Amino acid sequence: MKLIIAIVQDEDSAKVLNGLMSEGYSATKLATTGGFLKSGNTTLLCGVEENRFDHCVAIIEKMCKSRRQISTTPLTMSTSIDMVAPYPIEVTVGGATIFVLSVEQFFKV
C-alpha cells in the first residue's frame, strides 16, 4: 500500500477531490499554507493499493494544471531607513507536489 500526500492549490482542490471520489478513491483534506507565496493550499492524504497507485496519481496530474499569475512581493530597500515596497512578479502556481510513502500497515477502526 502507498500513502500519497498531494499538495495542490486551493483553486484545484475541489476538482481533484471530485475526480478521486468519482473513481472510488477516498482522501483526507487538510487546509495548509504555502511558504513561498503564503497563500492557501490543500494537502490531500490518499491511501491506495499498489495496483491503483499510477491511476490515482494520473487523476491528480490531470486535475492540477500549472498557470502563471502576477503576485505582489515585498521588496526591502536598504536606505538610511529600511523601507518595504511591494512590486509585482510573475510566478508559476498550480500543479501538484506529490510525496509517496510505502505503508507497512493500515487500520480503519
* Residues 12-48: tens digit of each pLDDT: 899 999 999 999 999 999 988 876 556 678 999 999 9
Which of 3.20.20.70, 4.10.520.10, 3.30.70.120, 3.90.25.10 would CATH assign to domain 2-66+93-102?
3.30.70.120
Is the separation of the CB atoms in 16 and 26 below 8 Å?
Answer: no
Q: What is the pLDDT of residue 50?
A: 94
Is the separation of the CB atoms in 56 and 48 below 8 Å?
Answer: yes
Residue 23 neighbours by CB under 8 Å, 6+ apart:
55, 56, 59
Bridge-based pairing of strands 28-33 and 2-9 is unpaired
Percent of the chain with pLDDT over 70: 74
Residue 82: is its pLDDT beyond 80? no
Write out the E strands in the chain.
Answer: 2-9, 28-33, 40-48, 66-77, 83-94, 96-102
Residue 103: is its pLDDT beyond 70? yes
- Residue-wise pLDDT for 49-59, tens only, equals 999 999 999 99
The pTM for the full model equals 0.74
- Report domain extents, the chain: 2-66+93-102
